[in-house]
Structure 1
Amino acid sequence: MYEDLTEEQVKARIIARLQTPLLTGEGSFTGDIIAAIAAELCQCYHSMDAMAPAFYVDETSGSYIDKQASMVGINRKAGTSAACPVTFTGSDGATVPAGAPFYTAAGLTFYLDGAVTISGGTATGTLTAAVGSAYNIGAGEIVSTLRNYSGITGYANGPATGGTDAETDTALVERYYARMRRSPTSGNPYHYQMWAGETDGVGFARVISKWDGDGTVKVLLASPDGGVVDPEVVAAAAAHIGTERPVGPAVTVLSATARMLEVSAAVSIDGSTSKEAVQDALEQAVGAYFKSLVSGSFSRNLDAELDALEEQTYTVLYNRVAFLLLSIPGVVDYTALTVGGGESNVVIAADEVPVLGEVTVT
């Protein structure tokens, strides 16, 4: 608003208002005073520019996002930690202390929740990581520890689950504006949508009223990246909704069903890229496209009494995927592009989300 305003412009405006003929040139007493005042006023104007993001928040507003959201009862989701079981083998009586660190090959760190002691040749414990979805590792991925523990001959982890990322600025802004524009009140569908969205691990939620007759509500959940959610997240969302909802309705909380779609193509490229780079770029672009479809579809709640649910579909456009492929720098042309095994649009049911499977570029 004032970013183009300069000290010279402010100084000229002050001088234009003077009613008394005074010397205002450089080095004059009046000119020096006006120059100092103009500098301070210009800083004030520029400071007012910095206040705009505080009142009109978007994903660039930084800490003001949290402050504005908290005014309407919305707090940033902090994320959750992943945990996995671990089995130790060794000599009876051997111990591993609480807090012992264990590492994956990629350097992700997990800590043992409580001390374990070998009995009958084995012992089990739980490893917990920091907050984040990156810690949802597979079985056997923990490969090292800080030191050797006397009497311990081996250890193996099971799959880690429960890790979710802290809410991004963009996601928090979306929840804030959804709250401001959709008026959740008195247990209406927007209210259930809001309660579901307050749960860590939930990115999108769709509410289907009267899905099994009067007095029934179904809440379908999708992850922040537009995929399915873990059973732990479903349980947490159901519990939270149960503490907030009005007495009466029978509420069912479920994860949306995954519609797995593989994408493959043969491409011609120039010398500025490689097929591996094109494959990575295509995976990111199509994943973002699928997420945008879920975001748009799940923003509309349904009423089974008014909507024929089997007709409330949305579509993955084959030509959109082709456009994304051709938009990747270095891609000249393509042949044999398939989406979900075919060369046509893919219709997604109202309770499904498109999940990107293997992406192959040859």
Structure 2
Amino acid sequence: MFSDKTYENIMSHMLGRVGADVDKREGSVIYDALAPCAYELAQTYYNLNQFLDLVFGDTASGEYLDRVVADYGISRKAATHAVRKVETNGTVNIGTRWGINDTTYKITELTATNVYSAICEQEGDIGNLYDGALENIDNLAGVTAVLTDVITSGADEETDDNLRSRFYAKAQAPSTSGNADHYKEWALKVQGTGNAKVLPLWNGPGTVKVLVVDSNVEIDESLPNSVAAFIETVRPIGAAVTVQSPDCVPITISANIWLDGSRNYNDVQASFRIMVAEYLNSLVFRTYSVSHAKVGSLLLDTAGVKDYDSLLVNGGTANITIGETQVPTVGTISLTEVD
């Protein structure tokens, strides 16, 4: 709105209001007198532009987005702690602390002989990442422990993009009386849910299926139970609700590539895999076809790639159709470097 209110434009306009008989060259008395005012005005207009971005849902971020969506009864989902299974070769006390890499876990409950549940003391997805031998922090002698299954996934604080999506869903697709939008809204309220799809009447009258993925647009086996438990507390009487994870369709990619020398093969492979994952995530519950041409363009856009040929997606050159209860996931990626 105020993009033309630059220092140069303001200074020119101010000098234009000074009589022609006055020296207005840079360094003159009038120029030096007006310059600080023009600078402060330009800074004020810049701040006004930034302020406008912070009060609308499509451009607000951080705490300002929180304030925008609060008017619609929406709040950002906080980070949560992962709960993990710990297996030991002997008895340990509740409250004993263990560590692996950059995470620590506190024993909270005995669930079976020498099997415990432990809560990760760090919030977020990091608590889901590691497994293996644990180091005891409390100097407990004679007992070893191994971190194994995820009991309840930890989740990072909801991102601006996810929060904005929920805000749009609420504002643009009002949910009422247990309609499909209402079920989606309920599913998205559950901590850890990143996206959801609702299939009304999927198994006859009175039936509803809800498919959910986590905030990383990945399958979380514990998420459907959490979503189902919440929906049971708010759904209309008489509805039979099934909550599941969607089926995964691995997308395998192979191609010959020529590198331009700016990056090594391993860096190119890693970058391309990330780009493919982002593309496939953007399709989930929105588009039901993986484009062969798009995969090719991603390969050409990967830094370090000069050219490619013999590109195959799931063994062929056609687009890959994804079913309405399926999501595409990254499968094996085989890039062959050609000299």
The residue number in structure 1 matching 2:280 is 290
Q: CA offset at residue 11 of structure 1? A: 6.7
Q: Are 1:285 and 1:324, in contact at CA under 8 Å, matched by a contact in 2?
A: yes
The amino acid of 1:276's aligned partner reads N
Change (3 A) 1:147 1:71: same
Residues 1:259 and 2:233 are matched in the alignment: no
C-alpha separation in 2, matches of 1:7 and 1:266 = 52
Change (3 A) 1:59 1:340: farther
Structure 2 length as normaliser, TM-score?
A: 0.83
C-alpha separation in 2, matches of 1:337 and 1:169 = 35
Q: For 1:147-186, list aligned pairs within 5 A.
A: 148-150=139-141, 152-161=142-151, 162-186=153-177
The residue number in structure 2 matching 1:357 is 331
Change (3 A) 1:324 1:13: closer
C-alpha separation in 1, matches of 2:84 and 2:109 = 15
Q: CA offset at residue 290 of structure 1? A: 0.7
Residues 1:347 and 2:315 are matched in the alignment: no
C-alpha separation in 1, matches of 2:247 and 2:279 = 18
Residues 1:110 and 2:104 are matched in the alignment: yes
Q: CA offset at residue 41 of structure 1? A: 4.9
C-alpha separation in 2, matches of 1:177 and 1:183 = 10
Q: Are 2:135 and 2:145, in contact at CA under 8 Å, matched by a contact in 1?
A: no
Task: Answer 1 or 2: higher relative contact order, Cα 8 Å, separation at least 6.
Answer: 1
Q: For 1:239-254, list aligned pairs within 5 A.
A: 239-254=229-244
Change (3 A) 1:81 1:264: farther
Question: Secondary structure, in 3 states, of the residue corresponding to 2:215?
Answer: coil
Question: Secondary structure, in 3 states, of the residue corresponding to 1:56?
Answer: coil
Change (3 A) 1:167 1:206: same
Q: Are 1:108 and 1:135, in contact at CA under 8 Å, matched by a contact in 2?
A: no
C-alpha separation in 2, matches of 1:81 and 1:115 = 15
Q: For 1:1-362, list aligned pairs within 5 A.
A: 1-6=1-6, 10=10, 41-58=41-58, 61-90=61-90, 95-96=92-93, 98-103=95-100, 107-114=101-108, 123-129=114-120, 130-137=122-129, 139=131, 141-146=132-137, 148-150=139-141, 152-161=142-151, 162-230=153-221, 232-297=222-287, 314-362=288-336
Structure 1: stretches of 5+ with no match in the other structure: 298-313
Identity of aligned residues (%): 32
Deviations 1:184-237 (A, max 9, x none): 22222111111111112221111111112222211111233333232x211111
Q: CA offset at residue 281 of structure 1? A: 1.4
Structure 1 length as normaliser, TM-score?
A: 0.79
The amino acid of 1:101's aligned partner reads W
Aligned residues: 330
The residue number in structure 2 matching 1:304 is none
Change (3 A) 1:123 1:332: same
C-alpha separation in 1, matches of 2:302 and 2:37 = 53
Structure 2: stretches of 5+ with no match in the other structure: none
